[in-house]
Amino acid sequence: MLRNLSIGRRLALFFVLGAGVVVAVVSYFTFVQARDLLRAQQRDIIRQALKATSASIEATEAAVEKVVQGNALLVEDLRLKPEESGAMLKRTLQRNLELVGAAVAYNPEIPAYGHVAPYAYRDGDAVLLKDLGKDDRAYEIGDWYQLPYQMGKAQWTEPYYDEGGADMLTATYAEPVYLDGDPASVSAVVTGDVSLTRLSRFLQSLDLGDTGYAFLISRNGTFIAHPDPAFIMNESIFSVAAAREDPGLRSTGREMTSGRSGFVTFDGLSGLEPSGPSYMAYTPIESTGWSLGIVYADSEVNAAVIELNRLSWAIDLVGLAALLVIALLVARTITRPIDALDLAAQTLAHGELDAPLPQAKGRDEVARLTASFGRMRDDLKERVEELRVTTAQRERIESELRIAANIQMSLVPRTFPPYPQRHDLEVFALLEPAREVGGDFYDFFLMDEDHLALAIADVSGKGMPAALMMAVGRSFLRSYSRLGGGPSQILDSLNDELSTDNDTSMFVTMFLAVVDLRTGHVRYASAGHNRPFVVRRDGAVEQLPRTRGIALGARAGMMFAEAELTLAQGEALFLYTDGVSEAMNAADEVFTEERIAGELTRIASASCGHLLREMNEALSAHAAGVEQSDDITMVAFRYMGGGSQDADAGRGGEV
């Protein structure tokens, strides 16, 4: 995947990824730090808000308590009668706007006053008075009466809906009054009512952020103030804990209702269901025994931190984008010369070695690469030039060789049988030139009606000089043969001729035989050539004895020895060059003369053509694919005897 991207893009990608990781890590730790800081800060803010709010509530409750305590003192000290109490209560309400109602409930068990409870309350702006004990209504069964009465001290009641006053959530502060200061006999309970609706509104008006809210629970844990109206008076912190099966919330509730302050993390209280990680600070309202809580969601802290970090993240992103651009630009300065080099290399690959290479600036890796590339290109050019020269040379040599081979092949008789009208002889010859012409040749011709000359020769050296030498040698051989004389005299003359001005020091080995076709008598001489074989009628194979004589062209004035033998009818001569006896196989083993003799013995009675082909096959089998290094030349002659049948056709063998 990544490998498919260009180096430049990959470089830029790695740069930006690496920088991105660093930026992300830094951002994360900054975020955590800021969040913790903000949490701590938020905690302080909430605590301050809590303190201020509870102080404000306390102040209101304390004012109510003061008023009720004042009334209680009056009732107790002045032994106010119910009518007097009523007047006092009306004045109290008129003067103290925080009170929504006030009563003096006389103890019905004390006969002096009877079952009576004057109660002042508001109806709009008016302050009205009524008797709570009217029509035998049992005011004394209410908590506001029973609690101070039974406990012998002032009490804030649990909040309740005052059915008289339009379902107003009310709490009452009630203080017992004693007859003659006797703590055992309560003469009346003096009360003041405060509306919690106003308190609830006050709590909701607090600025506590988007998710923050304040709530108030009673001594029993019941919600008195809460942003969800359905909670008020219905749910308690304990019922919510039970609904959620959250023992943690229940113990928090117990802490709150037992008058402690604290700070907890919990699942929020905005509904019956958990509302996410939240914090709550709580503190008691000492006078009433209530507890004030302020809740805020952790998500808000996070949101604030995110808000704070937004700019820095934006800067990070811009920075990363800039880095990407810079990285791409830097990468381009690196890859552009490489791309140029790549383009040049492609041109080069098409063979345009002279195409210009990009200019390498500086001394960086790319410059060095370009320089190396240039050197490589120059070397290549040189090599190509060399190759061109050698190829031309080789082509010239090869064409020379071809010409030489053509000369060689055109100089030897190649029509078989050469004398179709004659039945007294059979001649067959074979010349397989090596790739580089070796300069072998053979020749046979009738010197007259009854005499056949047979020659085989091997020119030292190869190629054109050898071919020319061979052509010269053959011409001289024919010329001197016409002058008459035996084979030794012909070789003498030939030697003298070839030795004259032999600057090139080329030599020719040659075997020359002259056969008298009437008798089968053979005279022969050898100029250092391989000794031919005779195949006798009985199948015996003999090698001709050695005769004196070295290669032609070595030294003038040499005298060649002559020898003779007689061939019976059907007997044959086998002439060959060292290309046969020294043919090599892969193991560098030569064919050997013994092997030639063996092959001749095996195929003694075959016709001359067949004999040479068989020998050639044996040679091929021996070489087994190894390239022939020298010309292979063989001549077979069989003396048939019985005289010439067609004397006129005698010279027809030459081509």
Partner 1 sequence: MRRLALGALAVLAVAVAALAAVALWPGAHEARGAEQPRPVRLVLHWRPQAQFAGYYVAAEKGIYAFHGLDVTVVPGGPDTDSLKELRAGRADFALAFLSGALSANGQGAPLVDVCQVVNRSNLMLVAWKSTVAKRADFAGSRVTLWGMSFRAACDAFFSAADVGPILLPQFYTVNLFLRGGADACSAMEYNEYHTILMAGVDEDELKVFPMRDYGLGFPEDGVYTLASTQAESPELCADFAAATMEGWKYCQGHPEEALDIVMRKTAEAHVPTNRVHQRWMLDHMLVSIFPGDQDTWQAGKLAPVDYGRTRAIMIGEQQIEAGPPYERFVAPEARVAP
Question: Is residue 92 part of the contact set for partner 1 (CB under 8 A)?
Answer: no
Please check whether residue 255 is in contact with residue 262, taking contact to mean a CB–CB distance below 8 angstroms: yes
Least Å from the CB of residue 293 to partner 1: 14
Helix-strand-coil percent breakdown of the chain, rounded to 5? 45, 20, 30
Contacts with partner 1, 469-488, as mask; x by CB under 8 A: --------------------
Q: Count the site residues for partner 1 by CB under 8 A.
A: 30
Least Å from the CB of residue 235 to partner 1: 5
Which range of residues in 15-23, 102-110, 236-244, 583-591 is near partner 1 by CB under 8 A?
236-244
Q: Give the phi and the psi of residue 527 in degrees, each rounded to 5.
A: -105, 75
Least Å from the CB of residue 175 to partner 1: 15
The three-state secondary structure class of 420 is coil
Least Å from the CB of residue 36 to partner 1: 33
Contacts with partner 1, 248-287, as mask; x by CB under 8 A: --x--xx--xx-----------------------------
Question: Is residue 491 part of the contact set for partner 1 (CB under 8 A)?
Answer: no
Least Å from the CB of residue 116 to partner 1: 19
Least Å from the CB of residue 78 to partner 1: 29
**Quick one: tokens of 276?**
């996410």
Measured between alpha carbons, how far is residue 63 from residues 169, 287, 328, 493 in Å? 19, 11, 75, 165
Question: Is residue 219 part of the contact set for partner 1 (CB under 8 A)?
Answer: yes
290/524 with CB nearer partner 1: 290
Least Å from the CB of residue 140 to partner 1: 9
| E-state strands within 135-234 | 155-156, 160-162, 168-178, 186-195, 213-217, 223-225
Least Å from the CB of residue 257 to partner 1: 5
Question: Could you tell me which of 293, 290, 294 has the C-alpha nearest to residue 58?
Answer: 290
207/245 with CB nearer partner 1: 245
31/161 with CB nearer partner 1: 161
Least Å from the CB of residue 285 to partner 1: 16
Longest dimension (CA), the chain: 197
Contacts with partner 1, 157-186, as mask; x by CB under 8 A: xx--x-----x-------------------
155/526 with CB nearer partner 1: 155
Residues 6+ apart with CB under 8 A from 121: 93, 100, 101, 127, 128, 129, 130, 164, 165, 193
Give CA–CA dist 81/88, Å, rounded.
11
Please check whether residue 106 is in contact with residue 139, taking contact to mean a CB–CB distance below 8 angstroms: no
**Quick one: tokens of 551?**
């290669």
Give CA–CA dist 634/613, Å, rounded.
10
Give CA–CA dist 378/509, Å, rounded.
51
Q: Which of 6, 94, 234, 333 binds partner 1 (CB under 8 A)?
A: 234
Question: Is residue 101 part of the contact set for partner 1 (CB under 8 A)?
Answer: no
User: What residues numbered 377-436 form the site for partner 1, per CB under 8 A?
Assistant: none
| Paired residues of 101 in beta bridges | 121, 193
User: What residues numbered 127-156 form the site for partner 1, per CB under 8 A?
Assistant: 141-143, 146-147, 150-151, 155
Question: Is residue 233 part of the contact set for partner 1 (CB under 8 A)?
Answer: yes
Q: What angle do CA 297, 55, 156 make, to 5 degrees?
A: 100
Contacts with partner 1 by CB under 8 A lie at 141-143, 146-147, 150-151, 155, 157-158, 161, 167, 219-222, 233-239, 242-243, 250, 253-254, 257-258
